[in-house]
Amino acid sequence: MRPDKDIELHPDTSNDAPTYGPPDPAGDNWAMAAHLSALCGYFLPFGHVLGPLAVWLFKGRQFLQVDHHGKEALNFQLSITLYLLISMILIVVGIGVLLVIALSLFDLVMILVATIKTRSGEKFRYPISIRFIK
């Protein structure tokens, strides 16, 4: 049974992500920027952490969705940094090189997926992310 077009469907809020009010294009763009700013890590040392941190600090109080997505992006990038440090230690054992490559590709793909989901208005949670900032 399909609902009528007049009935507004509410997204699944079973996860513990906050719900935010009516769509705000400026907030959505800044939320997207929180995820995309992690790509600064490919050009600047620690840019993958500093980019989301800057967006979250400057716009997180102004837009609720930026607060949520900024924390998500920052937590994920901090987690990836920790995993990469562990992988670099494991280079001595021999498996570390493969882990560094896999984590780097996973990071890039997840940044793009998060950006696309955020642009469509969905709340996104990164997998394998440690919640350093709640």
Output the pLDDT for position 123.
87
Output the pLDDT for position 11.
44
Alpha-carbon gap, residue 115 to 47, rounded angstroms: 17
79, 4 contact by CB (below 8 A): no
Output the pLDDT for position 22.
58
Output the pLDDT for position 1.
42
Q: What is the dihedral of CA 12, 16, 22, 23, to 10 degrees?
A: -80
Q: Give 13-48 pLDDT, tens digit per residue.
A: 445 544 555 567 788 899 999 999 999 988 999 999
User: Phi/psi zone of residue 15: left (φ > 0), alpha (ψ -120 to 50 degrees), beta?
Assistant: beta
Structure tokens at 116: 């696309």
Instruction: Give the helix ranges, DSSP H, for the chain.
Output: 25-36, 47-59, 64-89, 96-119
Instruction: Indicate the SS3 state at residue 48.
Output: helix
User: Phi/psi zone of residue 131: left (φ > 0), alpha (ψ -120 to 50 degrees), beta?
Assistant: beta
Alpha-carbon gap, residue 31 to 52, rounded angstroms: 10
Output the pLDDT for position 67.
94
Structure tokens at 3: 């609902």
- Intervals of the chain under pLDDT 70: 1-23
